[in-house]
Structure 1
Amino acid sequence: MKDLSRVIVVGGGTSGWLSAAYLASSFKRTGRDIKVSIIESDTIPTIGVGEGTFPTIVNTLYEIGLSEKEFIAECDASFKQGALFKNWLYNPSEKPHAYYHPFDPPAKPKGLDLSAYWVSRKHQGTMQQDFAHATSVQSFLCDENLAPKTPETGEYAWLAKYAYHLDAAKLGQLLKKHAMNKLQVEHIVADIEQVELDEQGFIAHLVDKQQRQHDADFFVDCTGFSSLLLAKALKVPFVDKSHYLTVDTAVVLPVEYADAETPITTHTVSTAQDAGWIWDIALQNRRGTGYVYNSHYCSKEQAEKTLCDYHGIAHDSEKRYRHISFKTGYREKSWAKNCCAIGFSSGFVEPLEATAIAMVEAGVRSLAARFPATREAMLEREKQYNRIFTSRWDNIINFIKLHYCLTKRDDTPFWREQKNPETIPASLKEKLKAWQHYGITDGDLPYKYDLFTLASWQYILYGLEFLPDYVEKAPINEEIIDKAFASIAAQKRSAASKLLSNRALLEAFGASCKS
């Protein structure tokens, strides 16, 4: 049995270079003598709109050896502490509404879980604050655009959990430089024209337009929606989930800040519109914005106008709009034979909760942890990986659908469609039916590989005013509960006294990089 000695990643961009860097770093850490090469076309543009990230990115960048200060400086990055959802529950002309999904879980003063007591007091009419503000200091940090750490906090360490907003194209370039210079990843510029299979159906080698042959033991498909290796060569079918998540198009528009003092928002703002929603993220030097919508209910020109109206600017066909069409779903298998697809070649879900880069991280992390020593060991690793990722995709789809299906909006066909039971996955309907009677618990989410934990589900359920009829709580004196909620308010006052604004901290980081 011959040991595997070479991996080829096909495709660049964030998914390709992050995959190559992570694999090379992992092999180096574990002492495995496996060469990592990447074949990248110089004629195929990358999509690169995934400017929001998930907290897992912090550990990923640390593990591959990138300096946080270098990353922030090179990628126009800023700190992200969660998301604010505006007008998802009610028609804004009738009742404006907003709620947070912070990254920090609800606080537990002296170990006391306050979620059940918040629900109980909501039912009694004695709790005025929404769930995130009552139980989380981080929602206050977002309100005030305060940073999640101080200039003295170490790299990749936090006082409040964070991810980043970033320029995806710049991240791809930084990862490329780091992978080549620090991790000895071989870079090959070529357009792959042919994928040759052996008699067992494994990929034998690739042939480029110059008729050069590229051999490896294992291949990573990072070719985006085209899925050149997994779909086209290995014929792995696509599992369409667009009947659950019905948006299918995005129009993207970068916007400059009004001036150098404009606050840098420390969370993603996702604002519901007639046929979808607008994302608004704050980088150091600009805002990244886009309208994600259902093309059955909105034309490209209407989408551009909606985005311009959001910014309070005139619609101009000469602006730097970029239109992207997509279909929600995933490949029946992400790993087949000696090929693993990572990124859009594996699957795609709308960017509502910044899962794109997070799924690249999860994909390459899982691959590295299960990377086989020989071809004979691949089959069991393949089965295990695919079980994990099918479940991951389905759980992400359920979680994203949760944001839509609890809406009380019926002002447009798009929003009426979101409540149609046929557009809600059966597994989610089953959960919601149970959660209507009793509060969600960790036992309802037993799968350890899920991106979204109990806290995330609570923030969305309670943010959308979905309260269970009954919650189990310990019989504790109300005075103790009052003090526990008051302690969170005290933490907010303490944070306000010692944390800088997001912009001020980023400027401090920039100054330290130059010194």
Structure 2
Amino acid sequence: MSYERIVVLGGGTAGWMTAVALATGLQGTQVELVESEDIGTVGVGEATFPSIRNYHQIVGIQEADFLRATQGTYKLGIRFCDWRVRGEDYYHTFGDFGELDGPHALWGQYRRHVNAGLPKFGEQCLPTVMAMRDRFCAPGQGAASFNYAYHFDANLYARFLRDIAIKRGVRRTEGKVVDVTRRADGGVASLRLDDGRVVAGDLFIDCSGFVSLLLGRTLEEPFLDYSRWLPVDRAWAVPSARTSTALTPYTRATALESGWAWRIPLQDRTGNGHVFSSRFIDEDKAREQLLQQLDGEALAEPRLLRFTTGRRERFWVHNVVGIGLATGFLEPLESTSIYLIQAGLGNLMPLLVPRTRVAPEAIEAYNRGLTRQFERIRDFILLHYCLTARRDTPFWNAMAHVELPDTLAYKLHAWRQTGVLHQYDVEGFDGHSWLAIYAGMHCWPERADPRLSDLPLATSLDWVQTRARQLAEAVAPLATHDTYLARILGR
């Protein structure tokens, strides 16, 4: 028996990304999306990871069309302010640092010259230099080798995807679910809406957000709480007027008293938020701290989101597959919410293409794969906290002493003792990303690789100095982010 009728519950980014993927990859399958205008979406996930470009390519979305429809801008990475100590910053951008191992490991050669007055290590990475100077160009121009993502209005993005999905045959049903009918085997048979209509399906994709109506409430799939590692559980979000300052090609994450604030530049406004732990600061004070961060007039009243970091134990149960927030949530420090949507879709679509019932073994493998995705991203986010030198508030002191998951503890041990950037089988972030955080937080191996001395000291110094100079010279003539974006949009 095949999945002839697929029902997507919930709109928003997760629902409409799913609908577009199904309509594009499973032509001939009946896809119906059920959503209610009375139920709002989170709609604040405005910064992304480079994988979104792969999604757009697969489903046939043109970059300029997307940027126009969503007030989008380019993102080279994230600037972290005050994370290690107050007054210090570093960048995690989507570039590389050359070789990561052996005598030609750039970071290793750089560390041989700690007293040579070299620029910050980040300036050995092309997109970091571009971000520092508010420049942008497309990868592949000249010697450019890097990746990039976007900032955009999540509500506009959902509408943009909805139009595409409907044109490709997805049926949109407006209505609020009031009851769920179960099958004899425990799966879901149909949804009953508030006007009495019944929506039946063979496979249900739960994109109902934090509510997790099918996977969580109906099937009662257990939730695994990650808050002992990541205790932030609230976020204020507010848009502000765009100022006359340059349009930065990066997200800014600024460490505050009991959490951190994001700043996301869009074409027409700036997105702002404050992610914090209610164990260490009350909501009103956190709201006040957010408003103090704005560099333009607030355009609305701040909106409060409450959440618990963690995930469902399984993501595919019976004939229900959770996608997006219905499966769990990790704080948006590295803009991974949409990446996790894509990870779910990327693993799901190949299983549905044969149009036959998916074997239990394949479903188990699907659940194992997404479990690893959540765990690896959890570890990478926690890395930003556990390396801090800050002890100036109860929150930062507590984060510096969190007991680490074994997977992260092993990676840290391997790096500190041997300089090995260990990678597991499923990783959201590669060794260059881990190196960017290590370097930014001044976390370096205790022992030098003896192979580094194969390169004469003078040659080594000339190499790292020349690379930094060449990157600066390459970036200097590039267009500003504003100028490049205007050119793409035909303005």
TM-score (norm 1): 0.89
Q: Which of 466, 475, 480 is 1:495 aligned to?
A: 475
**CA shift at 1:308, angstroms?**
2.2
**CA shift at 1:439, angstroms?**
0.8
Q: Distance in 2 between matches of 1:119 and 1:220?
A: 49
> Using a 3 Å threshold, how does the CA distance of structure 1 residues 37 and 127 change in structure 2: closer, same or farther?
farther
Q: Distance in 1 between matches of 2:300 and 2:153?
A: 19
> Using a 3 Å threshold, how does the CA distance of structure 1 residues 77 and 313 change in structure 2: closer, same or farther?
closer
Residue 443 (structure 2) aligns with = 466
Q: Contact 2:50–2:147 at 8 Å: present in 1 too?
A: yes
Residue 242 (structure 2) aligns with = 257
Show CA shifts across 1:429-473 (max 9, x none): 2322332211133xx2131x3211111111111210111012434
Q: Distance in 2 between matches of 1:479 and 1:22?
A: 54
Residue 280 (structure 2) aligns with = 297
SS for the counterpart of 1:370 is helix
- Residue 224 (1) aligns with residue 209 (2): yes
1:278-289 aligned within 5 A: 278-289=261-272
Code of the residue aligned with 1:455 in structure 2: it is H
Q: Contact 1:335–1:382 at 8 Å: present in 2 too?
A: yes
SS for the counterpart of 2:490 is helix
Show CA shifts across 1:390-427 (max 9, x none): 111111111100000111111100001001243x3232
Code of the residue aligned with 1:418 in structure 2: it is M
Residue 159 (structure 2) aligns with = 173
Q: Which of 403, 424, 434 is 1:457 aligned to?
A: 434
Q: Distance in 1 between matches of 2:280 and 2:414?
A: 33
SS for the counterpart of 1:466 is coil
Residue 437 (structure 1) aligns with = 417
Q: Which of 92, 110, 119 is 1:118 aligned to?
A: 110
1:98-177 aligned within 5 A: 98-107=89-98, 112-122=104-114, 125-126=115-116, 128-133=118-123, 135-149=124-138, 160-177=146-163
- Residue 322 (1) aligns with residue 271 (2): no
Q: Distance in 1 between matches of 2:329 and 2:48?
A: 15
Q: Distance in 1 between matches of 2:108 and 2:91?
A: 18
SS for the counterpart of 1:101 is strand
Q: Contact 2:259–2:275 at 8 Å: present in 1 too?
A: yes
Q: Contact 1:247–1:294 at 8 Å: present in 2 too?
A: yes
TM-score (norm 2): 0.94
Same amino acid, percent of matched pairs? 31
SS for the counterpart of 1:459 is helix
Residue 310 (structure 1) aligns with = 293
SS for the counterpart of 1:169 is helix
Q: Contact 1:271–1:277 at 8 Å: present in 2 too?
A: yes
Q: Which of 463, 478, 483 is 2:457 aligned to?
A: 478
Q: Which of 36, 41, 53 is 2:36 aligned to?
A: 41
Q: Distance in 2 between matches of 1:275 and 1:229?
A: 34
Q: Distance in 2 between matches of 1:258 and 1:491?
A: 29
**CA shift at 1:258, angstroms?**
2.6
Q: Contact 2:22–2:349 at 8 Å: present in 1 too?
A: yes
Q: Contact 1:141–1:147 at 8 Å: present in 2 too?
A: yes
- Residue 428 (1) aligns with residue 408 (2): yes
Structure 2: runs of 5 or more not aligned = none
Show CA shifts across 1:296-325 (max 9, x none): 2222221122122223689x9x95211111
1:284-433 aligned within 5 A: 284-311=267-294, 320-371=301-352, 373=354, 376-422=357-403, 424-433=404-413
**CA shift at 1:108, angstroms?**
5.2
SS for the counterpart of 1:377 is coil
Code of the residue aligned with 2:77 in structure 1: it is G
**CA shift at 1:276, angstroms?**
0.5
SS for the counterpart of 2:7 is strand
Aligned-residue CA RMSD (Å): 2.2
Residue 227 (structure 2) aligns with = 242
Q: Distance in 2 between matches of 1:57 and 1:376?
A: 28
Show CA shifts across 1:63-96 (max 9, x none): 1111211100110000000011111111x2xxx2
Q: Contact 2:74–2:149 at 8 Å: present in 1 too?
A: yes
Q: Distance in 1 between matches of 2:193 and 2:362?
A: 29
